[in-house]
Structure 1
Amino acid sequence: MSPRILRFDAIDNFRDFGDYATAAGRRLRPGRLLRSAHHGRASEADLERLKALGIGAVVDLRRPGERRDQPSRRHAGFAAAVIEGGLDDGAEAPHIAFLKSADLTADSGRRFMDQTYRRLPFDPAYLDVFARYFRALAETDGAVLIHCAAGKDRTGFLAALTHRLLGVGRDDMVEDYLLTNTAVDLAGRAPAIARQLERMTGRVASDAAVVAFLGVEAAYLEAAFAEIEARHGTVDAYLEQAVGVDAPLRARIEARLSA
Structure 2
Amino acid sequence: MAQEVLKSASQADDPEATSRAIETALAQIPSLSDLYISMLEHGASAFAETARRVAVSEGAVLVHCTAGKDRTGVAIALILEAVGVERAAIVDDYAASERNLAGPWTERMFGMLQAMGLPRTPALDDLVAATPPAAIITALEWVDAHHGGAAHYLRSGGLTDAELDALRRRLT
Unaligned runs of 5+ in 1: 1-93
- Deviation, 1:226, is 2.5
SS of residue paired to 2:63: strand
Give the alignment partner of residue 76 of structure 2, picking from 132, 154, 159. 159
Give the alignment partner of residue 243 of structure 1, picking from 152, 157, 164. 157
Q: Distance in 2 between matches of 1:145 and 1:245?
A: 19
Map 1:199-238; keep pairs closer than 5 Å. 199-200=115-116, 202-206=117-121, 208-214=122-128, 215-238=130-153
Q: Distance in 1 between matches of 2:106 and 2:60?
A: 32
CA contact (8 A) 2:77 2:90 kept: yes
Q: Distance in 2 between matches of 1:220 and 1:96?
A: 26
1:196-217 per-residue CA deviation (whole Å, 9 max, x = no partner) reads 42321x24224x4443222111
Give me the CA root mean square deviation. 3.0
Residue 55 of structure 1 corresponds to: none
Q: Distance in 2 between matches of 1:239 and 1:114?
A: 19
CA contact (8 A) 2:91 2:137 kept: no
Q: Distance in 2 between matches of 1:178 and 1:98?
A: 31
Q: Distance in 2 between matches of 1:246 and 1:190?
A: 37
Residue 116 of structure 1 corresponds to: 35
Structure 1 residue ranges (4+ consecutive) displaced by more than 4 angstroms after TM superposition: 94-101, 188-195
Residue 138 of structure 1 corresponds to: 55
- Deviation, 1:190, is 6.6
Change (3 A) 1:148 1:192: closer
SS of residue paired to 1:231: helix
Residue 59 of structure 1 corresponds to: none
SS of residue paired to 1:146: coil
Q: Percent identity?
A: 27
Task: Tell which has more relative contact order, 1 or 2 (C-alpha 8 A, sep 6+).
Answer: 2
- Deviation, 1:164, is 0.2
Unaligned runs of 5+ in 2: 7-21
Q: Distance in 1 between matches of 2:100 and 2:127?
A: 16
- Deviation, 1:171, is 1.7
SS of residue paired to 1:229: helix
Change (3 A) 1:231 1:194: same
Give the alignment partner of residue 26 of structure 2, picking from 103, 111, 121. 103
Change (3 A) 1:170 1:140: same
Residue 182 of structure 1 corresponds to: 99
